[in-house]
Amino acid sequence: MSHLDTLSVHAGREDFSRLGVHAPPIDLSTTYPTPDLGIGTASFDALVAGEASAANPIYARLHNPTVARVESAIAQLEGMDACVAYGSGMAALTAVLLDAKSRGNHVLAVRPLYGTADHLLASGLCGLETEFVAADDIAAKLRPDTALVIIETPANPTLQLVDIAAVVAAAGSVPVLVDSSFAPACIQRPAEHGAAYVLHSATKFLSGHGDVIAGVVSCSEARAKPLRTVRAATGALLHPLAAYLLHRGLATLNLRVERAQANAQTIAERLAAHPAVAAVHFPLLHDGAQAAIYRKQMRGPGALLAFELAQGYAGAAAMLAAVRLCTPAVSLGSVDTLIQHPAGLTHRVVSEAARAQHGIGPGLIRLSVGIEHVEDIWADLARALNAAVSAGTAPRALASA
């Protein structure tokens, strides 16, 4: 199997014939009998050391077969040796950071990033010094103790693109982590451009139905071992029921993304022509160097876009209050359309100065376009845009964020 459409359906199901099942079994055991102490001890040592499996799973914090199946599936989709699944995207990022400390104390990160990831890095909670730099400055900012370079492309929430191969070249021997949550494998495979780690908030497109919290990191087997050790020690293993739902979601991933990004293209073009909208950020609408990066590393624009309202915060608040089909909520990548205000929600923990520097202003709206009929989505947005216009011209507009 080499085509992603086939892999998304069949990957991680290689043992089904042997098991005699057609749907993935869910193993909810928290502990496993160990009548043979020798086998039990050897299995415990192997799992704590980060091995992918052992003769006996011992305890669900160390290993779970249902989780292992979806890890295998995602690794195949990303074109990498291994995948390690966690209880959330932030748990996945934290594990990579904790492992990075074994190599050094300095991290380079390119903004914008997901707001909570930015906050975790800036806070130093993982005991690392994070330096936020432009992608073009990475080579000049490397230090002997630089342990990791972090980028997100397309970036949350502005859809800014970063040239993965260029960053990998600039980083040299320092591993590069790419948060590709906005662009699943059918759109972008960072490993093809040299990324050492590919991180997804699997809550988003990979599961796709708004009912799973999960995070995954795909990488080489050598890099996966310490990540499993961190997971075992911190108790961050993905729950098997969530793993089952995530695996089920993968089967329709490509179909969902194909429909959603077609809708997103139509919506982006209409927003760009609307008088209430000052700017639209969407990969297909990028020009210059950003357009060149898009052509180089993406197979499609994805289903995320952002747009700036001429009416600023007052217009944004009015629009969120006025939508009826679109759901005003954080998160993304679901089958339904989600709309939210980054400066007030997902990126509120980012400093005001950093938000301003990277275009996360009071009038910016992020839209995750779903698979509904595009005319219904647009009708809802058009109504809400009229409300935004009215709010912007009202004598007493809402207070500025």
Q: In the beta sheet, which residues pair with residue 141?
A: none
Nearest to 73 by CA among 253, 227, 306, 230: 253
Residue 33 domain-assigned? no
Q: What is the pTM of this model?
A: 0.95
Q: Select which of 179, 189, 231, 380 is catalytic.
A: 179
Whole-angstrom Cα distance, residue 77 to residue 206? 11
User: Is residue 299 among the annotated active site residues?
Assistant: no
Element housing 215 (H / E):
strand 215-219
User: Is residue 141 among the annotated active site residues?
Assistant: no
User: Would you tell me how many other CB atoms lie within 10 Å of the CB of residue 300?
Assistant: 18
Mean pLDDT of 172-197: 98
Residue 359 domain-assigned? yes
If asked whether residues 290 and 354 sit together in one domain, one would say yes
Question: Is the per-residue pLDDT at 396 higher than 50?
Answer: no
CATH value at residue 325 = 3.90.1150.10
Token output for 18: 């042997």
- Judge contact between 223 and 75, C-beta under 8 A: no
If asked whether residues 89 and 139 sit together in one domain, one would say yes
Question: Is the per-residue pLDDT at 1 higher than 80?
Answer: no
Residue 226 domain-assigned? yes
Question: Is the per-residue pLDDT at 305 higher than 50?
Answer: yes
Residue 38 domain-assigned? no
User: Is residue 179 among the annotated active site residues?
Assistant: yes
* Res 11: pLDDT: 95
Mean pLDDT value across the chain: 95
* Res 391: pLDDT: 84
If asked whether residues 321 and 221 sit together in one domain, one would say no
Q: Nearest 5°: phi and psi at 150?
A: -120, 130
Question: Is the per-residue pLDDT at 2 higher than 80?
Answer: no
Residue 72 domain-assigned? yes
* Res 395: pLDDT: 45
If asked whether residues 110 and 217 sit together in one domain, one would say yes
Q: Select which of 13, 86, 99, 114 is catalytic.
A: 114
If asked whether residues 161 and 273 sit together in one domain, one would say no
- Provide, rounded to the nearest whole percent, the portion of the chain with pLDDT above 70: 97
CATH value at residue 202 = 3.40.640.10
Residues with Cβ within 8 Å of residue 3, at least 6 apart in sequence: none
* Res 394: pLDDT: 53
Residue carrying structure tokens 């040796």? 81
202-225 b/e (C-beta count within 10 Å ≥ 16 → b)? bbbbbbbebebbbbbbbbeeebbb
Going by pLDDT thresholds of 50, 70 and 90, the confidence category of residue 390 is confident
Instruction: List pLDDT tens digits, range 338-349.
Output: 999 999 999 999
If asked whether residues 276 and 365 sit together in one domain, one would say yes
Distances (CA, A) of 214 to 93, 157, 218, 231, 243: 11, 20, 13, 13, 8
If asked whether residues 240 and 361 sit together in one domain, one would say no
Question: Is the per-residue pLDDT at 398 higher than 70?
Answer: no
Going by pLDDT thresholds of 50, 70 and 90, the confidence category of residue 393 is low
Instruction: Report CA torsion sign: 108, 354, 205, 135.
Output: negative
Question: Is the per-residue pLDDT at 399 higher than 50?
Answer: no
* Domain end among 226, 250, 274: 250
* Domain end among 232, 250, 268: 250
Q: Which residue has the higher pLDDT, 2 or 124?
A: 124
If asked whether residues 212 and 258 sit together in one domain, one would say no
Residue 55 domain-assigned? no
Residues with Cβ within 8 Å of residue 269, at least 6 apart in sequence: none
- Judge contact between 263 and 374, C-beta under 8 A: yes
Mean pLDDT of 208-232: 98
382 is in which domain, residue-wise? Answer: 253-393
If asked whether residues 18 and 154 sit together in one domain, one would say yes
Residue 206 domain-assigned? yes
Q: Select which of 61, 101, 225, 348 is catalytic.
A: 61
Token output for 212: 């799973």
* Domain end among 228, 250, 272: 250
If asked whether residues 243 and 277 sit together in one domain, one would say no
Q: Reduce the DSSP state of residue 191 to 3 states and report it.
A: helix
If asked whether residues 238 and 283 sit together in one domain, one would say no
User: Is residue 114 among the annotated active site residues?
Assistant: yes
Question: Is the per-residue pLDDT at 97 higher than 70?
Answer: yes
- Judge contact between 94 and 126, C-beta under 8 A: yes
Q: Select which of 13, 204, 228, 355 is catalytic.
A: 204
Q: Reduce the DSSP state of residue 14 to 3 states and report it.
A: coil
Residue 399 domain-assigned? no
What's the structural domain count of the chain?
2
Q: Pairing state of beta strands 146-152 and 176-179?
A: parallel
Nearest to 385 by CA among 272, 304, 285: 272
Question: Is the per-residue pLDDT at 381 higher than 90?
Answer: yes
Whole-angstrom Cα distance, residue 401 to residue 397? 12
If asked whether residues 110 and 180 sit together in one domain, one would say yes
